[in-house]
Amino acid sequence: MRISALARRTGVSARALRYYEEKGLLVPERTSAGYRVYTEEHVETVRRIRILLAAGLNSDMVREILPCMVADGEFLAPGCEDLIAEFERELQRIDTQIAELHDVRSALTGIITAGKALASR
């Protein structure tokens, strides 16, 4: 599979895929002419990358986490033990973020229901 095919399958732009490679997140094989060649596994990797990035992790963190995600987190790849502390900090960040989002969420729903109450008078 070449880059535009993977782009179609994942819904991610070819530019983004090249960027992921540049950051070490997604490293394809190459043909003799230098074309990038991707496998089915790369499709899944791209899916994970997107989820992690969408959660606000930066690409450095994603690069570290990806090798630790084997079979839905059942096993842990070797070398990941050292990163546990870092992951816990990230987890802390995520929990904070979730709490902040919940605050704003309730504020927004309050405004929206108040607005609809006004509109229906």
> Which residues inside 100-119 make contact with a second copy, applying CB under 8 A?
100-105, 107-112, 114-116, 118-119
Q: Which does 27 bind (CB under 5 to 8 A by kind): a second copy, DNA, none?
A: none
Whose tokens are 């490679």? That residue is 21
Retrieve residue 115's tokens.
Answer: 């607005």
Cα separation, 117 vs 121, in Å, equals: 7
Q: CA-CA distance, 105 to 46, in Å (whole number)?
A: 29
100's contact among a second copy, DNA, none, with CB below 5 to 8 A by partner kind, is a second copy
What is the per-residue binding string for DNA in 20-39, x denoting contact by CB under 7 A?
A: ---x-------xxxxxx---
Q: Which of residues 7-66 bind a second copy (CB under 8 A)?
A: 51-52, 54-57, 65
Beta strands in 17-115 (DSSP E): 29-30, 36-37
